[in-house]
Amino acid sequence: QDQPHSHDEL
Amino acid sequence: MNIFRFAGDMTHLMSILILLLKIYATKSCAVGISLKTQELYALVFLTRYLDQFTDYVSLYNSVMKVVFIASSLAIVWCMRRHPLVRKSYDKDLDTFRHQYVLLACFVLALLLHEIFTFQEVFWAFSIYLEAVAILPQLVLLQRSGNVDNLTGQYVLFLGAYRGLYIINWIYRYFTEDHFTRWIACVSGLVQTALYADFFYYYYLSWKTNTKLKLPA
């Protein structure tokens, strides 16, 4: 599930 | 990770390395490089990657974060401390008032963020700052009135990075269930618009074979 505060981009 | 994001990261990295290698090889930044833009980018990476030790995403992400921070700091170091490069920097042309931009981005980050925590506010700050960090560079180009190969390539690769990231977001929007990241996407669009504007005038000057002139 996507967490809104997980920043997976650079 | 999709191919668009990867290509975006690579063009981003290329833009920074081109600049760093050319400054280092020619021992000069007298080609219209804005120290203020470079300092803003270094600050962007430093404030965005505060999560380096708390949130692990992938080895790729962790390594790239270190590379981006180190290479952007190396450019700033060269322009500020290297005796020859420092001499070639014309600060009278680099007049953009970046203090106001920093303040505006910080206030915006305090107002608009995903979660009100230290890391998240600075993450939002870095996103807003990246969107406008190219402005001192564009103002410098406008004042100096010429765009040489180095600066052209640099801005070209940066523009490619922005364009690829937008394609990446469109791709993710259609392939992922819960892809909502308004802060990054809206700021990214603003940033890309700034480049699009630059490219339009770049194209005009190339087509008419005249010196690049950006409107005031």
Helix count and strand count (H, E) for chain B: 9, 0
- Which residues in chain B have their CB less than 8 angstroms from residue A7's CB? 48, 51, 55, 57, 123
B42 half-sphere exposure, CB direction, 13 A CA radius: 17
Q: Please report the pLDDT score of residue B211 as a whole number.
A: 67
Cβ of A4 within 8 Å of Cβ of B57? The answer is: no
Please say if the pLDDT value at position A1 is more than 60: no
Q: What is the pLDDT of residue B140?
A: 87
Residues B65-95: tens digit of each pLDDT: 999 999 999 999 999 999 999 999 988 989 9
Q: Which residues of B touch A3 (CB under 8 A)?
A: none
| Coil, strand or helix at B36 | helix
State the amino acid at position B52 in one-letter form. Answer: Q
Q: Evaluate whether A8 touches B56 at the Cβ level (below 8 Å).
A: no
* A3 contact B CB<8A: no
Residue B89 in contact with residue B35, Cβ under 8 Å?
Answer: yes
Q: What residue segments make up the domains of chain B, in order of their start?
A: 3-208
Tokens of B158: 């940066």
- Identify the three-state secondary structure at position B13: helix
For B40-63, letters b (16+ CB in 10 Å) and e give bbbbbbebbbebeeeeeeeeebee
- Residue B203's pLDDT band, with cuts at 50, 70 and 90, is confident
CA B68 to CA B126: how far, in whole Å? 14
Cβ neighbours of residue B4 closer than 8 Å, sequence gap 6 or more: B164, B165, B167, B168, B171
